[in-house]
């Protein structure tokens, strides 16, 4: 309680480590990221696919970035799954996924059939996108 008897919520004092609530979310996202990162690292078709997607999104050095994308997804997913360094794994995946989404917004390109029509209509009004 603060001096004026108003309860305060200090996020630094919240401890979710004593509860099982984050475990299912962590495990589900961990498995998903492992399954999506595995082909980018360990299969020729998956690696060629991510290089193609990065090239279409005009991300510089797609051959090099593709290894980073696959590694972040796969290793970050493993970290989330086993519960070790979960914050680092989650933040790396957040920036990786967010960066690709930002490049897709800026270039006006999305993988075909990967997004609902409502999102595509919203993108038409995105102020950063260049009008044709």
Predicted confidence (pLDDT) per residue in 31-45, tens digit:
999 999 999 999 999
pLDDT tens, position by position, 57-87:
888 899 999 999 999 999 999 999 998 898 8
CA quadruple 81, 83, 88, 90: dihedral sign:
positive
pTM of this structure: 0.66
Percentage helix, strand, coil for the chain under 3-state DSSP, each rounded to 5: 70, 0, 30
Q: What is the pLDDT of residue 48?
A: 93
């Amino acid at each position: 309680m603060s001096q004026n008897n108003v309860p305060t919520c200090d996020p630094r004092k919240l401890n979710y480590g004593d509860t099982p609530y984050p475990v299912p979310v962590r495990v589900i996202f961990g498995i998903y990221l492992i399954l999506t990162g595995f082909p980018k690292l360990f299969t020729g078709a998956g690696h060629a696919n991510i290089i193609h997607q990065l090239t279409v999104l005009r991300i510089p050095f797609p051959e090099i970035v593709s290894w980073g994308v696959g590694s972040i997804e796969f290793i970050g997913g493993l970290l989330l799954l086993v519960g070790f360094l979960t914050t680092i794994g989650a933040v790396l995946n957040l920036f990786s996924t967010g960066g690709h989404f930002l490049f897709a917004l800026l270039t006006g390109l999305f993988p075909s059939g990967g997004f609902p029509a409502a999102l595509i209509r919203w993108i038409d009004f995105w102020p950063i996108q260049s009008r044709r």
